[in-house]
Chain A
Amino acid sequence: MSIDNLLWDAFRGMLTIRVVEERFLELFAAGELHGTVHTCIGQEGCAVAVIGSLDPERDTVVSNHRGHGHYLVHSRYDLDGLIGEVTGRASGVSAGVGGTQQLHRKNFYSIGIQGGLVPAAVGMAFAEKLTGSRNVVCVCIGDGTLGQGVVYESMNIASKWSLPILFVVEANSYAQSTPTEVQHAGSLVGRATAFGIESFEMQADDVAAMRDRASKVVSQMRVDRRPVFLVLRTYRLGPHSKGDDHRPKEELDAHWARDPLSSLRAKLQAIDEGRMGRTEQVVKGEVDAAFRRVLASPARMGSGD
């Protein structure tokens, strides 16, 4: 599609994710939701670009605790399923059992254990290879997850057995409260190239550039079934979960000023203000309606429901 339409679609997707995530945080702050949530505020572009380059009917996405964005893109914006899951409804995509960190629908799986599904993702890629399909698996992790040994076991096997799996690292500079540089020795891409895995690293502020890279990588992967490691330099604008944020105000302000969503908004608004206004209105309306619908339905209780 034309770059313009791609950008409008991307914006719409990113805004949808942003509004949903902010709404979750509001509900938690108001005491209306239980448990926790890990919002991907500031990282929406990664989901829209990378997951958007896959075919959700045939490709598998394995995500993590901060997976709402990935889920929404892969499910073509199944708002009710996501909201239902986070708010403990039977209509939730995991029937209210998995919660925000354990979402599953068709080819989408997430888990709240850091790196927990990475080997399974490799196993699924192996399955695709054994059946001779040209499907790929995309596993999304954070920079913090690169502390887990099982990720290296998985990369080794993916490369040695030549499996069609894309490792996407959303390097958002923090693992909970710990900055990346405190955790990781050496280079992030160097870890993958050590296994003979082709690696890329790029800034996550340009959704079109990310989409372009991801599409090329995926097309290539369907042919050569080689794994790829893609590091996206992004930033987590929201807290790790809720309220647990001790980052310095100046740092946060500086990054908010460079919020990819705001930048894209400004760019598109300049092109067509009217369309921007309508887009925002539609998105907010859809999200509001979804929340209203789901919150009106009963929450799951113990035996007997």
Chain B
Amino acid sequence: MSANDDSVRVVKWLSEDRTPVKSGTPICVLETSKAIHEIESPTDGFLRILVDAGRVVTTGDTIAVIAASVNESIPTPAPKAGIESAVPPTHSMRSITAKAEIVARSLGVDLSRISGTETITEEKVRALAGRLETRVAGKVVRLLIFGGGRGAVQVLNIVRRIPHIVPCAILDDNQALKGEQLMEVPIVGAIGDFEALMARGSFDEAIVSISANSDVRKEIFDKASGRGVKFANIIHPNTEVGVNVKLGTGNVILGSSRLAEESTIGDNNFISAYVNIEHHAVVGSHVTFGPGVFLSGSVTVGDGVKFGTSIGVEPGVRIGAHARIGSGLAVVSDVPTHGVLKTRIPTLRSRSNEA
């Protein structure tokens, strides 16, 4: 067995407690991180089981004794304050439910990373593994994320709360990131590698996580969808989507936002938190919004527009494609294509300038 293993799982006993066993007969099956092992009895005698099947033990623990007689009194090992898990000795001992232990093993979760002293439950294990309650039969969506920066963190934060969407890989053109993990999701290559992944069937749907650069968003989206990649909408569960909202694909919408009834959103938009898109508003594609943007009813926004933060747009205003709207503005009249509305930066006066 590997000398590197701190812990080992007792899979099953091949003989009943108190039955006679012969030297060399397999009596037990153990599972390490690498393999399954059959353990043979070291001697003739009566098997006295000390650890139940299913339990995980630390290397060095006694799991059974081969006794000379069937009723020999066997001292039970001092219980380790409720431990049955793979916790290395440097950490404090805590109890764990059998289910949590099984799930941890199956997901490869390192239990020492769960903080606290109360009983480790299945929910804690799964939360650590980045997934919540188990698969709904048949409906898992494996998500590929374009971009491994802060936008990806925001996307992963949303996806963590959506049971059937499982992030499977991240692509980023920064080669230094390749092989790393972001929130336990592997970064496997550059943006262009999506074709190889698609050919292998490694993902179901994709999302562009880049939040600010709308040109790059568009470029990636167009290229990938042109090759047949299906894009998901990643919407925070507490964002309200009203009746008859028309939504394209590839949109990221952060928390506490609102798409009101009868509004229309295109593809590949990045919408931050606290964005309100009022009824009958129409937003095109590849638009980026900072937090706190309020579009009133029947506002139209063309493709590729970029909004700063804390912006209000009055009803019916039309904002042309590729316009830039600076932070803190009230947009009360139409903005032409490529139009730029600059933020008014207040002047900071020193005391000596006051009259």
> In the complex, A touching B, CB below 8 Å?
no
